[in-house]
Chain A
Amino acid sequence: MSEQALSRALSRRSQLARLKKQVSDLLFHAYGFWGYLFLYFPIIILVVFSFNDSRSTAQWAGFTTHWYADMLKDHQIILSLWNSLFVAIVSTTVSVIIGTLAALAMERYRFWGKLMMDAVLYLPIIIPDIAMAIMLLIFFDISGIGFEPWKVNFFGAHLAVPYSVIIGHVAFNISFVAVVVRARLAQMDQVLEEAAQDLYADPWRTFWRVTFPMLLPGILGGALLAFTLSMDDFVITFFTSGAGFNTLPVRVFGMIKKGVTPKINAVSTLMLLFSLMLVAISLILSRGGEKGDSSGNPMF
């Protein structure tokens, strides 16, 4: 082969390789596009049809905000929203405090029974909600705790929230809080605590001046996760609430069972907005955490 022919063959080979790369890149981008479309398409349709001026959730008949007005007039929905918020706030508060303590114990100590506690903390995460739900149902039924409501005036709303629901929510949230806070603790260099002690801070002050501020993004991340899980939970609430108590998801499930209407789309859109807000907060939190030091995303 002449030198020219050789160089031509080589350049053809490199052109072919380039073309192959371009085609595969293009396919790859197309895949990414379709992947995200798959994730967002149903949500977008859901939102779009919440503004549909017809009872149909599939055929467009003009724009209206009628369903939102309808939703706001529905006392059952408003009450269930208050119930959801109340359960989420109370269960998050409790689970964040005791979950953080548990995380500290698990991450900072070696002690008798640690392996067992590891398993006990891990189980509520992996057990399917339906199993946990029926466990709690039987437990509340036979233990005599029952489904007594906690009557409370929550920002003017008169709620009757069964203790059993809150107890159940705390039971699954502890584990999630503990996992998130532990991850943060594991990242934290223990030498900082030693440095504080070296600088005359006793354990109590070491905790409040060093450990806690650095742990805060993790704790807030855990709180956010617990709050979301609590707001979103349907199965456990459904089984532990006894009769007549609705959180928003329980209410929505009941509505879906009765039939599809754009009003459900409207409620769903509201819930979606709420989730978006929580994602935004978590983003801000993780940014804040990064500024302080290299922290991960509190969502994991």
Chain B
Amino acid sequence: MSKLITWLRQRASLQAWLLLLPSALWLFIFFIAPLFIVLVYSFLERGTYGGVVWHFTLENYRRVFDPLYLKTFWRSFYIAVLTTVFTLVLGYPLAYYIATRPQRQRGTWVLGLMIPFWTNFLVRTYAWLTLLRTHTGLINLTLMHLGWIHKPLPLFGNDTAIIIGLVYGWLPDMVLPIYATLERLDRSLLEAAMDLYASGPKVFARVIWPLSLPGVVAGSMLVFIPSLGAFVTPAILGGGKALMIGNIISNQFLAAHDWPFGSALSFVMMAVMLVATLVYFRVTSDEERRQL
């Protein structure tokens, strides 16, 4: 036994792989292998009764660029970008607000973010459904009751509803990393800037904003990627009319039984995300990512 230990001691690589073995096996079998299968599927033809025919084709990818689907892709992209921008605009001041609270209070404020963050996404989306619905939603009913509007506002079953739902759903994901960078910011840097004649806005533009950029970039990634791949939000708030790429993909599996095409759609979606991730790794250093 002790000989075995001594032998192992001198082989760090082997030890590491022994520790990794269960998770590596699990992930290679149940994640990497499925990923490759989907890749292969995306080049196959669909069978007449669902299933696939083992015949190589690029048709699925051509169809992705069909105006019909390209439009949905473009809409999803546009919704994801808008969601990211809105969460940033709303979230940055919020993160800044938390970071400037007295040290003792900050924990409580962060906790205030964690509670919605830990609440089931489906529940949070459903909450908005009861607020946004056109004729029976709280917002329209209240506004009409107050006599401010006479006809319900189009708040449901469109991109607006989806963006509201997504912004709400992912806001904490934007705030937390920004807060993490702001909180770490050395106060003496701000004092130094003010000492060197920078006024409030200039301190922000020249010191705070550049130093919080890693958090902004990380937060944007955390919001953009799941927004682009959103499925639950459009399924609930899109009212069956406004769809995103996630819904089109799921339809290929649940309704249309066109698995190869669904696979191709997924791959194109993942390719967009991969590009975003690569950009993220390009613009940030290892150090910066570790701090989050």
Which residues does A use to contact B, with CB under 8 Å? 24, 28, 31-32, 35-36, 38-40, 42-43, 45-46, 49, 56-59, 97-99, 101-102, 104-106, 108-114, 117, 120-121, 123-124, 126-139, 142, 167-168, 170-171, 174-175, 178, 186, 202-203, 228, 231-232, 234-235, 239, 249, 252-253, 256, 260, 264-265, 268, 271-272, 275-276, 278-279, 283, 297, 299-300
Do A101 and B23 contact each other (CB < 8 Å), given the known contacts A120-B28, A120-B31?
A: yes
Selected contact of B266 from candidates A120, A134, A260, A278, CB within 8 Å: A134
User: Sorted from nearest, which 5 A-B pairs have the closest CB atoms?
Assistant: A128-B229, A139-B34, A109-B16, A42-B127, A105-B19
Selected contact of A136 from candidates B34, B110, B118, B200, CB within 8 Å: B34
**Docked CA distance A45–B171 (Å):** 19
| Interface residue count on the B side (C-beta < 8 Å) | 83
Chain B, range 25-79, C-beta contacts under 8 Å to A: 26-28, 30-35, 37-38, 41
B114 at the interface (CB under 8 A from A): yes
With both beta carbons as reference points, the residue of chain B lying nearest to A57 in the complex is identified as: B130
**Docked CA distance A234–B282 (Å):** 33
Which residues does B use to contact A, with CB under 8 Å? 5, 9, 12-13, 15-17, 19-20, 22-24, 26-28, 30-35, 37-38, 41, 90, 93-94, 97-98, 100, 110-116, 118-124, 126-131, 133, 136-138, 141, 168, 171-172, 176, 180, 200, 225-226, 228-232, 235-236, 246, 249-250, 253, 259, 262-263, 266, 269-270, 273, 277, 290
Which residues of B have CB within 8 Å of A28?
A: 93, 97, 100
Which residues of A have CB within 8 Å of B37?
A: 135, 138-139, 142
Which residues of A have CB within 8 Å of B120?
A: 231-232, 249, 268, 271-272, 275
With both beta carbons as reference points, the residue of chain A lying nearest to B112 in the complex is identified as: A36
**Docked CA distance A175–B137 (Å):** 39
**Docked CA distance A108–B35 (Å):** 29
Q: How far is the CB of B92 from chain A (nearest CB, A)?
A: 11
Selected contact of B123 from candidates A126, A170, A272, A299, CB within 8 Å: A272
From A31, A40, A98, A112, name the one whose CB has the most chain B CB atoms within 10 angstroms: A98
Which residues of B have CB within 8 Å of A32?
A: 94, 97-98
Task: Beyond A134-B249, A139-B30, A299-B114, list 6 extra A-B contacts (CB 8 Å).
Answer: A42-B128, A58-B133, A99-B23, A128-B228, A128-B229, A253-B236
Number of A-B contacts (CB under 8 A): 233
**Docked CA distance A259–B20 (Å):** 46
Q: Are A45 and B138 in contact (CB under 8 A)?
A: yes
Q: Are A121 and B118 in contact (CB under 8 A)?
A: no
With both beta carbons as reference points, the residue of chain B lying nearest to A104 in the complex is identified as: B19
Chain A to chain B contacts (Cβ below 8 Å), 30 pairs = A31-B97, A36-B112, A39-B112, A40-B116, A43-B119, A45-B131, A58-B141, A97-B22, A102-B20, A102-B22, A105-B20, A109-B16, A120-B32, A126-B225, A127-B273, A128-B270, A134-B253, A134-B262, A134-B266, A135-B38, A137-B253, A171-B31, A232-B121, A265-B130, A268-B126, A268-B127, A272-B119, A275-B120, A279-B114, A279-B115
